[in-house]
Amino acid sequence: MDKKNIFLFLIILSISCLAGPLMLSASDEVSHGGDIIYDKPVKAVLFSHKVHAEDLGMGCDSCHDGIFQMASLTVQKEADFTMEGLSKGKYCGACHDGSMAFDSDSQCARCHIGVKGYDRAQGIKSGE
């Protein structure tokens, strides 16, 4: 198994351990906003508040209320919430531009967990 597949496996394993509703809710013990799985315009993209807030030490105001609204998943309603929009520096692409953070046009599996990853995170078994 290569490093890319191991990394993807670890992400999926982490998600499956926390499987719950579309947005894994933050409990009192969680100091960040919980993980979010976007399902539009494609299924599925994982955003980890833990990685950004705890591991990287970013504050909420790094993204909220400038790039993203506080309410989760509202950005999915925006017509330009697409890879093209990100490539133009919108949303995730504001930081994921290749200089501040990895380019949103590369390393797809770091964010995109796909339909199978989404199903696993939701507790749906293959073939159902």
> What does each of the 128 residues of the chain score in pLDDT, given as a tens digit?
677 767 666 666 566 555 444 444 444 455 677 889 999 999 999 999 999 999 999 999 999 988 999 998 999 999 999 999 999 999 999 999 999 999 998 899 999 999 999 998 888 886 65
Q: Where are the domains of the chain?
A: 3-121
Q: What is the pTM of this model?
A: 0.68
92's tokens: 């995730």
Overall fold of domain 3-121: Cytochrome C3 (3.90.10)
Cα 126 to Cα 119: distance, rounded to the nearest angstrom: 8
Q: Residue 120: which H helix or E strand, with range?
A: helix 114-121
- Count of residues in the chain: 128
Residues whose CB falls within 8 Å of the CB of residue 107, separated by 6 or more in sequence, listed in order: none
Name the helix (H) or strand (E) containing 49.
helix 49-49
Q: Distance from CA of residue 87 to its chain's centroid?
A: 16
